[in-house]
C-alpha cells in the first residue's frame, strides 16, 4: 500500500513519502532544509500564544517567521489540549489564524483521545472532532486542511471517522493520537488503527501518521499507506544524547563506535561527542538523526519503485520483537493489501521468514489457481532448479529419448490411495504436472514462468510455518483429482499423511504442449476461459531463437499477443484485445472513459483518471486492461498505472498507459 | 563467537573486526585512511612482477610504495595462481620478497582449491598448501605470516588443515577460496567451511575471511569468529556503478533515490551521479562503498560490546534468502557457539524469528534446567507480565488473602492424566511452579529473574517453530513429575495432546520460599547441589527496600553472596567462594594459576592468561570463577573475561578479573 506521490501546496510540490521536521517557531537552530526537508511542520497555537511571534507571523507570514520558503504545515494546539487538558482558542479561531499567517496546510482543533479509554469517551470525543472538522471546512477560505482521524484504540471508530471525514473535502488526513502507543512499543495496536483508518480514507489524499518520528517505524507505516511523517524526535532525542537508527536507538553513553555511515558518525567518535559541550553535541546528534531519517525515507521510496517495500518492512521489523508482532498482525489485512499490490514488479520475491507467507503475491496465486482448467490426474514433482518447465524438459530429454522419460532422477514416487474414486488406468487421461515449492505451494508447470512463480527465492531450510502452509495447499489442491502421483521428497518435506502405494514413474508420459501452455497463462492472467477465447484459429507460436521461450502468438498472420520475457505475462495486440473484449463480460477488465476522453483514447493517448466514469473494481496496478466507452465499445487497451479504487478516486494524473489505439 | 581484538603489527595496533581495503600498488587513487582504514592489503606478486614497482619497493619499502604508514598485509600471488593456473615465483621467493619490502604480514603461496572439486584433488592440493606453510615458517625471519586454510568444500579437510596449521606458529589465519561461493550466493556452504575452520584454529589468532568484501556478509562472518576482511569490492563495484549496502547492492541505473545517509548519498542524487564523468562518479561511489563498509564494521563492533551481535546477524540475513539459509545452517553449530557466548550480557534477548530459537542462550537454559532440584508435582502457568514471580505474587495477594490465592484469574486449569502413576492427593506434596513462555519454554519461578529469562522479549503472535519447540520442551520437562497441572491457555497455545481432567486451581496452595529460591538460583548458576553447599547455617536474606528484590545472603553476620539486580545472578563473597570451593570438585569452576601468579592473585590483582596452567574447560566468559593454585588452594575469585579455550590459548591479556583477594 506504499506509494510515491506528489503533494501540491501553495509553496510548491512535495514528493511523498516525506518527513516533516518539527520547527519550533521561537527557537529553531538547525537548518533542516540542508538535510533534506522539503516540507516542515510548526505549531500555530504556540505562535498564537506568544505575542511577539503572533505579531510577526500576522505581519510577515509564517514562512518568514520560521525562515522556510517551502510548504509549511501547522498543527492546531490539539497536542497542547491533550497534554494540558484545556487551551484558550476556539476551533474557528485557530483555522482563521492559520489562514491569516499563510500556512500551507492547517489543522482543525480535533480531540486526540488517548488509547484504551472507555468506548463511551472515545465516541463522545469523536463527535466533537467530527463537528470541528465540519466547522473547519466552513471557516477556511483557501487554506488547505488536515482532518485528523481519531477514535482511540477502537478500530471501528477509527474506520467510522475515516469514512465520514474522508467524504468531506480535506486535503490531508492525519491519523492522530498514536504517540502514546508508539512510546510504549504497542506497534501491534498501531497496525490495527492505521489499517482501519487507511482502508476508509480516499486513496487520492495523503495520510500523515502524526507524531511518528522514529525511522524504525517509517517502512511499516508506509507499507500501510502512510505518506507523511513529522519528527520532533530528531531534536528531542538529540537533547537526550540518543542516536536514532532504522534498527533502533543508541544511547551515546553506551557507544564505543559510531554505528552509521553519515558525515557526523564518520567524522567523530563517541568520545569526541561526549567531550563536547552539550550544545555542540546536541546539534551534531540532531544532524545524525536527520541524516538517518531522511536516508530511511529515500530507502523506502526506492523500495516502492523496486517493488520490494514489504521486504524492507520485514527487515526493519526485526529491530524489536514488538515490531515483529506488528508485522505478524498485518496478516489480517493481506486481502486489502493485495488490492494495492501491483500485479507485476521489477524485483524478485525474496522470502525472509514466516511473515513472507502473508504477502499479497501468495494470496493472489492461490486465488488464480482456481482459474485454470481442471484435469483428471495430477503429478506433484519435487522442487528443482528454476525455471522448472525448462529444466524438467532438459532433464527428460537429456537421454535423447523424447517419448520415454526418465523421471526416476527425481526420486521415488507414490500414488495416493483413498481419494476420489479414480480410474486406475494410468495411460490416456489428462495429467496436470506441477511442482511443489516454497512459498507458492503447488505450481502447474504451464504457468511456472509467470511472475513471481519463477522470480522468487527462498531458503532451502524450511521453517514450520511454510511447511504447514504448503501442506494445507497441497491437501486443498489434490482434492479435485481422481488420481494423485506424488514425489517421496514432497511427502517427507511437508509431513504429508496419506496412504501411499508405490508407483513406477516411468509409466507416466509427460506431454508439454505449448498450445495448452498459452491458454493456461491467459486463464491465469485474465480469468477462466480467457485462453480459449484468445487463442483459437490457426494458432502459430513464435519462440525466441536465443532463449527458446515463447514470444508471440498468432492466428495465421494476425498477432494476438506477446509473452513478455521479464515476467511471463501476455501483452495484447489489437486482435487480442478485441477477442478478450468479446469474451469477458462487462465490466471485467474494463476502464470506462467518458465521451471527452474517447477521441484521445482512440488515438492511443494515455487515460487520465478524471475521465474514468466506471471501472472493474478488481483491476490492480500494472494489469493489462481494456479501455471502453459507456456503450462498451473497445477504444484502446493498455496497462493500469493505479488500482481500480485509486483510479476512481483520483482527479488528477494518469490512470492507464495506453498501448495502442483500438481502431 | 564474534570478538573485539587488538592485532599488533610492526606498524601499529589494529582493532578487530577490521576491514582492509585492497590497494593496487600501481594505480591507487583513493586515500582509504580518510574513510576509516587502519590496515590495508596489497599484492606482493603484482609488485614483484612489475620492475618499476619492485625496485621502488625494495628500495623504499612497501609502505612508501603505496603511501600508507599503518600495517600492510600482502597477498602472495595465490589468487593469480588460481586465476591463471601458473605463476613464476616460488613459495620461498615470495616469502623472502615480502620480508625484504617490509610487509607487516606476509602470505605463503598456498593453493586455493576451488569449491566442489573432486576430493582427490582437494586432498592433493592441501598437501602442497601444508608443505608450503611449513616452508614459509622456515623462510621467514621476522615477518608475521598468514597461513591460509584450504580444503575446498570439504569441511573435514578444512578442519584438518586448520588443526595442522593452527598448531604452527603463524600470526594470522585466513580462510581461503571462498570467493566463488560468495559470488554464487552459496552462503550456506560458506558457513560449513568457516565453522569447520574456526572450530579448529587457535582462538588467540585473528582469522581473515579472504575476499569477503561485501558488507552483507560481515556480521554473519564475525559471528562465526572472523576478524579480518579485505575489500577490493569497494572499487570494483564502483567501476561497475554499483552501490553496496549491508542489505544488498543497488545498481545506479535503477536508483531514483540515494538509499544511504553517507555524505555522498546526502549530497548527490542518482541523476547527479549519472551525469558525471565516469572517473568522478566512480570515485564518489567508491567513497560511498567505503563509508558504508566501515560503518558496518563499527556497527558490528558495537553489537559485540552490547552483546547482541546475533540479533544484528538475524537482521542482516534477511537481505537475501540464501543468507537466511546460511543463518539457518548455523543451527548445527549452536553447541560450539554456546561455548563462546558470554553468560551474562548488557542487552536483552530479542526474538526475531524461528532462527532465534537456535541462539546459545536457549540451549544453555535447557541444559541448566537439569541442575535444579526435582519436585513431585508441577504447575505450568500461562505467560503473564515479567518478572513473573513478582507479578504472580502481586496477583495472588491483591485481595489481601495471603493464604487463599485466586489463581482462577489465570484461566482454567487441567490435570494431565496417564503420566507416571501419581498420588492423587493434592495437598502436602512438593510443587514446582513454572511459567511457559516463548522462547525459553518452561521456566521455574525460582529462577525467573536470572538472565536472560526475565531480560527477553518476543512477539505475541507465535510462529510454528516456537510452538513446536516449546511443545517438545514441555513434554520433556513434565516426564519427571507424578502430577502435572497445566493451564488451558498453555495447552491450546502449544497444541498439546494430553488427556485432561478438570482441576480446581484454587485447591492449590502456592508457596514462595526465598530460602528455596536462592538455592535454585545457585544450582542453576553453579551446578546441582551448589545452593545447599552455599546457603546453610543461620541464613539471613536482605532485600532491597526500594524494589523488594533479594540483595544479600548472610550466614548470621557473614556475607555469603550478593544477588546482582541487573541479571539476577550471585556474586560471591570470600565466605561464599570458600563454600563453593569446598563443594565443587576439582577442576569445576577453577582457574589454576602458576606459582608466579599466586601472590598477585592473593592480593586481588587480575589474572593474566599466560599464568593459567589449567582450567575447567566449561568456563564461559562473564562467569563467576574460583582462582586456585596447583594444590587447589583457593587464592581468589572473580569473573572470567574469556572462555576456557581462549584463556588456555592466549599468551597475553587478562583472563579473570579478580573480585577480592582470598585470604
Q: Tell me, what's the pLDDT at A286?
A: 97
Of A35, A302, A465, the CB nearest to B259: A302
Subunit contact B463:A465, Cβ cutoff 8 A:
yes
Cα separation, B315 vs B313, in Å, equals: 5
Mutate to test the interface with A, among B248, B254, B321 (most CBs of A within 10 A): B321
A352 in contact with B at a CB cutoff of 8 Å? yes
Compute the nearest-CA separation of B1 from chain A (Å): 19
Contact yes or no for B223/B1 (Cβ under 8 A) = yes
> How much is the average pLDDT of B263-275?
97
Burial tier of A165 (Cβ tally within 10 Å: 0-12, 13-18, 19+): buried
CB contact under 8 A, A265 and B314: no
CB atoms within 10 A of CB A11: 18
How much is the mean pLDDT over chain B? 94
Q: Do A255 and B465 touch (CB under 8 A)?
A: no
Please answer whether residues A518 and A531 qualify as being in contact, where contact means their C-beta atoms are separated by less than 8 angstroms: yes
C-alpha cell at B247: 542489505
Q: What is the pLDDT of residue A420?
A: 59
Peptide bond into B17 cis (omega under 30): yes
Percentage with pLDDT > 90 across chain A = 88
* Mutation target among B2, B261, B464 for the A interface, most CBs of A within 10 A: B261
Residue B58, phi then psi, degrees to nearest 5:
-70, -35
Tell me whether A464 touches chain B (CB under 8 Å): yes
Q: Rounded to an integer, what distance in angstroms lies between the CA atom of residue B604 and that of residue B601?
A: 5
Using a CB-CB distance cutoff of 8 angstroms, which residues of chain B are in contact with residue A250? 302
Q: Tell if the CB–CB gap between B352 and A255 is shorter than 8 Å.
A: no
Look at residue A169 and tell me whether its pLDDT is greater than 60.
yes
**Distance (Å, rounded) from C-alpha B447 to C-alpha B426?**
24
What is the arrangement of strands in the sheet containing B207-209, beginning at the earlier edge strand?
Answer: B18-21, B228-231, B207-209, B173-175
Average pLDDT in the B202-222 region?
98
What is d(CA A316, CA A479) in angstroms, rounded to the nearest whole number?
39
Q: How far is CA B131 from the centre of its chain?
A: 33
How far is the alpha carbon of B468 from chain A, nearest alpha carbon, in Å?
A: 8
Q: What's the mean pLDDT in A276-294?
A: 98
Worst-scoring range by mean pLDDT, A300-309, A482-491, A509-518, B134-143?
A509-518
CA-CA distance, A206 to A646, in Å (whole number)? 12
Residue of B nearest to A308 (CA): B319
> Pick from A256, A298, A328: which is nearest to B259 by CB?
A298
Residues from chain B that touch A465, judged by Cβ atoms under 8 A, are: 354, 463-465
- Residue B425: predicted pLDDT: 46
In this predicted model, what pLDDT tens digit does every residue of A349-408 receive, in sequence order? 999 999 999 999 999 999 999 999 999 999 999 998 888 888 887 766 544 444 455 677
ipTM for the complex?
A: 0.95
d(CA B79, CA B269): 37
Does the annotation mark A376 as catalytic? Answer: no
- Among residues A40, A54, A50, A132, which one has the least CA distance to residue A100? A54
| Cα–Cα distance, A157 to A154 (Å, whole number) | 5
Residue B423: what pLDDT?
A: 47
The three cell numbers locating residue B311: 540479533
Q: Give dist(CA A296, CA A302) in Å, integer.
A: 10
Q: A460 contacts in B (CB within 8 Å)?
A: 188, 325
CA of B288 vs chain A CAs: smallest distance (Å)? 9
User: Is A49 part of the contact surface with chain B (CB cutoff 8 Å)?
Assistant: no
User: Which secondary structure element, helix H or strand E, spans residue B191, and what is its range?
Assistant: helix B187-198
CA distances from B495 to A182, A304, B409 (A): 33, 39, 22
How many Cα atoms sit within 13 Å of A163 on the Cβ side? 7
At B1-35, the pLDDT tens digits run: 999 999 999 999 999 999 999 999 988 789 999 99
Cell output for A217? 517505524
Active-site residue identified among A60, A69, A75, A633: A75
Whether A661 has a pLDDT exceeding 60, the answer reads no
State CA A273 to chain mean position distance.
40
Residue A29's pLDDT band (cuts 50, 70, 90)? confident
State whether the Cα torsion B345-B351-B356-B361 is positive or negative: positive
Question: How many angstroms separate the Cα of B497 from the Cα of each of B465, B474, B492?
Answer: 17, 11, 9
> Residue B323: which pLDDT band, with cuts at 50, 70 and 90?
very high
Q: Name the burial class of residue B142, with classes exposed (0-12), middle (13-18) and buried (19+) by CB atoms within 10 angstroms of its CB.
A: exposed
Q: Give the number of other Cβ atoms within 10 Å of residue B51's Cβ.
A: 8
Using only the alpha carbons of chain B, give its radius of gyration. 29
* pLDDT for res A418: 64
Q: Per this entry, what is the length of chain B?
A: 663
Q: Please give the Cα distance from A439 to A311 (Å, whole number).
A: 14
- Whether B318 and chain A come into contact, CB under 8 Å, resolves to yes
List the single range of A397-406, B274-283, B301-310, B551-560 with lowest mean pLDDT: A397-406
- Confidence at residue A662, expressed as pLDDT on a 0 to 100 scale: 45
pLDDT at A427 over 50: no
B103, B62 contact by CB (below 8 A): yes
Grid cell of A120 as nine digits? 463511551
Question: Which of A257, A261, A463 is nearest residue B260 as measured by Cβ atoms?
Answer: A261
Using a cut of 0.80, tell me whether the model's pTM lies above it: yes
Chain A interface includes B306 (CB < 8 A): yes
Q: CB–CB of A299 and B260 under 8 A?
A: yes
A482 at the B interface (CB within 8 A)?
no
List B432's β-bridge partners, or say none: B378
How much is the pLDDT for B445? Answer: 95
Cβ of A188 under 8 Å from any chain B Cβ?
A: yes
Measured from the Cβ of residue A36, the count of other Cβ atoms closer than 10 Å reads: 18
A165-187: average pLDDT: 97
Residue partners of A400: CB distance under 8 A and separation at least 6: none
Could you give the CA distance from residue A111 to residue A422 in angstroms, rounded to a whole number?
66
Higher-scoring residue by pLDDT: A153, B396: A153
Look over chain A and give the mean of its residue pLDDT values, rounded to a whole number. Answer: 94
Residues 381-440 of A with CB under 8 A from B: none
B376 interface with A at CB cutoff 8 Å = no
Place of cell 489489437: A574
CB B266 within 8 A of CB A263: yes
Q: What is d(CA B348, CA B310) in angstroms, rounded to the nearest whole number?
A: 12
- Which residues in chain B touch residue A255, judged by CB atoms under 8 angstroms apart? 302
- State whether B266 and A346 contact (CB < 8 Å): no
Q: Which of B416, B436, B525 is nearest to B481 (CA)?
A: B416
Higher-confidence residue of B87 and B646: namely: B646
Task: Decide if A81 contacts A87 (C-beta within 8 A).
Answer: yes
- In A, which residues are within 8 Å of B460 by CB distance? 188, 325
Residues of B in contact with A263 (CB under 8 A): 262-263, 266
The pLDDT tens digits of the residues spanning B340-353 come to: 999 999 899 999 99
Which one, of A406, A409, A392, A436, lies nearest residue A507 by Cα? A406
The CA distance from B437 to B445, in Å, is 12
Q: Which residues pair with B88 in a beta bridge?
A: none
Q: What are phi and psi of B658, to 5 degrees?
A: -75, 140
Q: Reply yes or no on whether the pLDDT at A76 is more than 50.
A: yes
DSSP bridge pairs for A7: A14
Please write the tens of the pLDDT for every residue from B534-543.
999 999 999 9
**Residue A48: strand, helix, or coil:** helix
The model's confidence at residue B190, banded by pLDDT at 50, 70 and 90, is very high
Classify residue B358 as exposed, middle or buried by CB count within 10 Å of its CB (0-12, 13-18, 19+): buried
Instruction: Report yes or no: B77 and B20 within 8 Å, Cβ to Cβ.
Output: no
Task: Read off the pLDDT of residues A195-235 as tens digits, 9 standing for 90 and up.
Answer: 999 999 999 999 999 999 999 999 999 999 999 999 999 99
Q: Distance, in angstroms, between B302 CA and closest chain A CA?
A: 6
- B459 vs A294, A321, A346: nearest CB: A321
Q: Which three cell numbers stand for residue A444?
A: 502447474
Which of the residues B38, B60, B69, B75 is marked catalytic? B75
Rounded mean pLDDT of A423-452? 85
- pLDDT given at position B395: 67
Instruction: Indicate the length of chain A as a whole number.
Output: 663
Rounded CA gap, A397 and B605, in Å? 76
Tell me what the mean pLDDT of segment B292-313 comes to. Answer: 98
Contacts (Cβ under 8 Å, ≥6 apart) of B476: none
Quick check: B378 and B485 in contact, CB under 8 A? yes
% of chain B at pLDDT higher than 90:
88
- pLDDT band for B426, please (50, 70, 90 cuts): very low
Any residues with CB less than 8 A from the CB of B74 and at least 6 apart, and which?
Answer: B41, B42, B43, B44, B47, B62, B98, B101, B103, B105, B106, B107
Amino acid at each position: 500500500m506504499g506509494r510515491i506521490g506528489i503533494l501540491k501546496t501553495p509553496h510548491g510540490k512535495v514528493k511523498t513519502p516525506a518527513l516533516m521536521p518539527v520547527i519550533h517557531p521561537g527557537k529553531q537552530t538547525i537548518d533542516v532544509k540542508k538535510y533534506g526537508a522539503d516540507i516542515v511542520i510548526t505549531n500555530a497555537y504556540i505562535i498564537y500564544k506568544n505575542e511577539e511571534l503572533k505579531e510577526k507571523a500576522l505581519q510577515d507570514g509564517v514562512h518568514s517567521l520560521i525562515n522556510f520558503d517551502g510548504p509549511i504545515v501547522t498543527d492546531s494546539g490539539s497536542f497542547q489540549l491533550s497534554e494540558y487538558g484545556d487551551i484558550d482558542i476556539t476551533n474557528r479561531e485557530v483555522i482563521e489564524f492559520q489562514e491569516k499567517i499563510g500556512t500551507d496546510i492547517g489543522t482543525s482543533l480535533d480531540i486526540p483521545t488517548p488509547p484504551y479509554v472507555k468506548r463511551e469517551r472515545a465516541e463522545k470525543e469523536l463527535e466533537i472532532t467530527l463537528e470541528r472538522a465540519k466547522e473547519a471546512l466552513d471557516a477556511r477560505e483557501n487554506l488547505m486542511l488536515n482532518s485528523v482521524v481519531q477514535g482511540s484504540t477502537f478500530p471501528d471508530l477509527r474506520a467510522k471517522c475515516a469514512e465520514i471525514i474522508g467524504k468531506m473535502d480535506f486535503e490531508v488526513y492525519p491519523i492522530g493520537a498514536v504517540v502514546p502507543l508508539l512510546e510504549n512499543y504497542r506497534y501491534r495496536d498501531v497496525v490495527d488503527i492505521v489499517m482501519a483508518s487507511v482502508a476508509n480514507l480516499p486513496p487520492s489524499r495523503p495520510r500523515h501518521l502524526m507524531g511518528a518520528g522514529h525511522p524504525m517505524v517509517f517502512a511499516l507505516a508506509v507499507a500501510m499507506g502512510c505518506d507523511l511523517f513529522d519528527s520532533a524526535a530528531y531534536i528531542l532525542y538529540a537533547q537526550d544524547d540518543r542516536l536514532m537508527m532504522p534498527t533502533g536507538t543508541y544511547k551515546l553513553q553506551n557507544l564505543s563506535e559510531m554505528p552509521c555511515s553519515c558525515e557526523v558518525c564518520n567524522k567523530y567518535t563517541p568520545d569526541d561527542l561526549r567531550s563536547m559541550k552539550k550544545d555542540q553535541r546536541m546539534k551534531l546528534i540532531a544532524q545524525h538523526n536527520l541524516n538517518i531519517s531522511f536516508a530511511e525515507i529515500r530507502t523506502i521510496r526506492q523500495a516502492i519503485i523496486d517493488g520490494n517495500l514489504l521486504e524492507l518492512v520485514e527487515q526493519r521489523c526485526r529491530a524489536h520483537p514488538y515490531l515483529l508482532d506488528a508485522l505478524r498482525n498485518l496478516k489480517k489485512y493481506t486481502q486489502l493489501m493485495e488490492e494495492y499490490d501491483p500485479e507485476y514488479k521489477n524485483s524478485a520475491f525474496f522470502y525472509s521468514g514466516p511473515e513472507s507467507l502473508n504477502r499479497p503475491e501468495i494470496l493472489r496465486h492461490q486465488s488464480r489457481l482456481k482459474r485454470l482448467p481442471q484435469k483428471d490426474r495430477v503429478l506433484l514433482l519435487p522442487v528443482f532448479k528454476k525455471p522448472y518447465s525448462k529444466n524438467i524438459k532438459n532433464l527428460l530429454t537429456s537421454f535423447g529419448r523424447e517419448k520415454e522419460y526418465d523421471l526416476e532422477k527425481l526420486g521415488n514416487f507414490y500414488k495416493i490411495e483413498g481419494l476420489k474414486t479414480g480410474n486406475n488406468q494410468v495411460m490416456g487421461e489428462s495429467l496436470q504436472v506441477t511442482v511443489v515449492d516454497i512459498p507458492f505451494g503447488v505450481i502447474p508447470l504451464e504457468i511456472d514462468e509467470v511472475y513471481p512463480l519463477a522470480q522468487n527465492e527462498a531458503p532451502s531450510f524450511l521453517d514450520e510455518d511454510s511447511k504447514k502452509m504448503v501442506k494445507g495447499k497441497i491437501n486443498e489442491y489434490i482434492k479435485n483429482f481422481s488420481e494423485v502421483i506424488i514425489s517421496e521428497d514432497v511427502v517427507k518435506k511437508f509431513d504429508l499423511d496419506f496412504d501411499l502405494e508405490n508407483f513406477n514413474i516411468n509409466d507416466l508420459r509427460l506431454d508439454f504442449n505449448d498450445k495448452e501452455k498459452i491458454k493456461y497463462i491467459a486463464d491465469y492472467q485474465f480469468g477462466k476461459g480467457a485462453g480459449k477465447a484468445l487463442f483459437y484459429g490457426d494458432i502459430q507460436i513464435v519462440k525466441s531463437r536465443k532463449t527458446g521461450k515463447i514470444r508471440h502468438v498468432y492466428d495465421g498472420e494476425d498477432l494476438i499477443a506477446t509473452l513478455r520475457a521479464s515476467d511471463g505475462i501476455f501483452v495484447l495486440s489489437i486482435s487480442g484485445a478485441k477477442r478478450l473484449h468479446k469474451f469477458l463480460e462487462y465490466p471485467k477488465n474494463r476502464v470506462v472513459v467518458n465521451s471527452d476522453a474517447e477521441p484521445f483514447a482512440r488515438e492511443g493517448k494515455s487515460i487520465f483518471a478524471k475521465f474514468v466514469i466506471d471501472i472493474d473494481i478488481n483491476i490492480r496496478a500494472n494489469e493489462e486492461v481494456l479501455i471502453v466507452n459507456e456503450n462498451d465499445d473497445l477504444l484502446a487497451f493498455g496497462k493500469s498505472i493505479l488500482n481500480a479504487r485509486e483510479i476512481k478516486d483520483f482527479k488528477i494524473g494518469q490512470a492507464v498507459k495506453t498501448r495502442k489505439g483500438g481502431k
